[in-house]
Structure 1
Amino acid sequence: MVSHDLRVFRLEQMTLFDLPPADVVSVAADLGLSWVGLWVTPGLPGTVSVDQGNVAGVVSRLDETGVAVDTVELLDLRPDPREFERALDLAARIGARTAVAIHADGTSTDEAAQRLGALCELAASYGIGVAIEPIAMGTTRTIAEGVALVEASGAMNAGLVVDLLHLVRTGQRPRDLEAVDPRHLFSFQVCDGPAEPGSFEEQLDEAMSNRLVPGAGDFQVVEFLSRRPEQCLVGLEVPQRSRFDAGLGHLERTRTVLDSALGLLAQAATDRLA
């Protein structure tokens, strides 16, 4: 049962923001995980993305460990998707299945849908899908807005990645997922946090650097996991800069996240059967 549950999870590079991508793969392998999500564009300050200089080493580490890349981050909806040719080429070289994108520049839904369609067409030429992530500080913020954008794009390889943090911070609840066609749900991302969001600056710090281990806060993590369609992986996206600053090692920090998520996933499975 535990080995089956482990296959549900994806280790996100944001959780190990200070490690280069090949070492993120190693930590995933040490924890018995099969999937990772890596960055192929410049990410958070201090984060080392996959690039031309290290991609061969990343591929070698993936081959050695048997870990695979599910998602890559982070694209946005630009007028010319060809700006991401290099990123998508890197994504294809490491075997990624999906590229995560955000809509955060204030363009209209119609314009964003056209851009998403063009990005999806380019990504499809690399055998990659595109998952829009609704984010609290973006233009496409809610699940419903994300679905509308995906449907308006007309792209068959477009869907959503739903981050529990952004779902909560936009005033939504896991039950809002009931209205979404499961085929639009590519993957979930899980973490925890306090019920009250704090200031905008505090929300930015939370999202990028200081999330709570699943089960340590007020989010409805179990209900969220119980809404997961069978095909959805669950990304462990729990950057903990405060624990990093306190000297906790990479494996220790990540094992705590995984162990907590496993327990909550088992509870979600029990609730689903009840």
Structure 2
Amino acid sequence: MNIMIRKLGLAHFSAISLPPTEFVTLAAEAGFARVGLRLCAPFTGAPHYPLRAGSAEIRDLSRKCADLGIEVYDIEAVVIDATFDAGALVRALEAAAELGAKRLSVAGDDENGRRLADNVSSLCEMASKFGLSVDMENMGWRTIATYEQADALVAATAAKNAGVLVDALHFFRNGGKLEQLRAGIARVQSVQLCDVRGLAPTTAEGMVAEARSGRYAPGEGELPLQELLAAIGDTVFVSIEVPLADPAGTPHDHVHHLMTATRRLLTPAGQG
């Protein structure tokens, strides 16, 4: 089996209607080895599942993961904006540490560059106390809109536990080039795969809509995902993030389809 398939992760956003225990159960059933959990809300009203360290709920979840042989790899999703307060994340970081998570996904949305950099540094320092690293993800409608900006911010932060998260949609739709990725590969710690079709949206509203309801399973769109995978090699964590957008679809069928499509993408011709 392809080593990348053996270690493949599934982002919670792919089946966000499911609470953590149901989500990890489905992910393991479909063949995923790792999951990301959304413990923090990236925007007002966003579905998320806050957990408290030491609670019966988190103990049951940890036991379920151990029984299934699946790993909680990352926690999402924090937006570092003008009102950001790192101290407000202590509870989430405590829960992440108890679950054994290794990374926290963040986005930057503060036009005050100095304050943004300071807040990223503060968060990295706090996260390190819980054994967590921090991955910056670019999004076209936020201040850190491009991969180049995310990479520059992480490089300037110089924290040992700061990295870049490359989401295939956000990377390519916002001008990311594979040459840039290769040049900054030492800072790339995580990659999220999905696919898209057609022209890139040109408005913030269009970008948000595509990111949340316009993604396709890897290999079912037009992005050069094979080239992206070749650029990152086999040491970077790879997960799938494709939200279920079909109102008639079910999380079970959707997640199994994501694994089937990804296996097809990752399996060399003649070895399937």
Aligned to 1:160: 164
Q: Which of 63, 66, 80 is 2:66 aligned to?
A: 63
The question of 1:126 aligning with 2:143 is answered no
In the alignment, residue 210 of structure 1 is paired with which amino acid?
G
What's the offset of the Cα at 1:93?
A: 1.3
Where do residues 30-49 of structure 1 align in structure 2 (5 Å cutoff)? 30-42=29-41, 45=45, 47-49=47-49
The DSSP-based 3-state class of the residue aligned with 1:260 is helix
Q: Which of 88, 91, 113 is 1:86 aligned to?
A: 91
**Aligned 8 A contact 2:244 2:251 in 1:** no
Q: Which of 219, 228, 234 is 2:232 aligned to?
A: 228
After alignment, is 120-129 or 40-49 more displaced?
40-49
Structure 1 distance, partners of 2:140, 2:19, is 27
- CA RMSD in angstroms comes to 2.1
Structure 2 distance, partners of 1:29, 1:79, is 34
Aligned to 1:95: 100
Structure 2 distance, partners of 1:113, 1:167, is 21
Aligned to 2:15: 16
**Aligned 8 A contact 1:222 1:267 in 2:** no
**Aligned 8 A contact 1:18 1:46 in 2:** no
Identity %: 28
The question of 1:190 aligning with 2:222 is answered no
Gaps of 5+ in 1: none
Structure 1 runs of 4+ aligned residues shifted over 4 Å read 43-46
**Aligned 8 A contact 2:31 2:259 in 1:** no
Gaps of 5+ in 2: none
Instruction: Mark the CA change 1:202 to 1:19 in structure 2 (over 3 Å): closer, same or farther.
Output: same
Q: After superposition, what is the alpha-carbon deviation per residue over 1:14-50, rounded to whole angstroms, capped at 9, x for unaligned? A: 0001111111110121022210000111357563414
Residues matched between the structures, number: 263
Structure 2 distance, partners of 1:175, 1:253, is 33
The question of 1:29 aligning with 2:28 is answered yes
Q: After superposition, what is the alpha-carbon deviation per residue over 1:167-214, rounded to whole angstroms, capped at 9, x for unaligned? A: 12212233431221x321111001111231234323212212331111
The DSSP-based 3-state class of the residue aligned with 2:47 is coil
After alignment, is 199-208 or 147-156 more displaced?
199-208
The DSSP-based 3-state class of the residue aligned with 1:38 is strand
The DSSP-based 3-state class of the residue aligned with 2:267 is helix
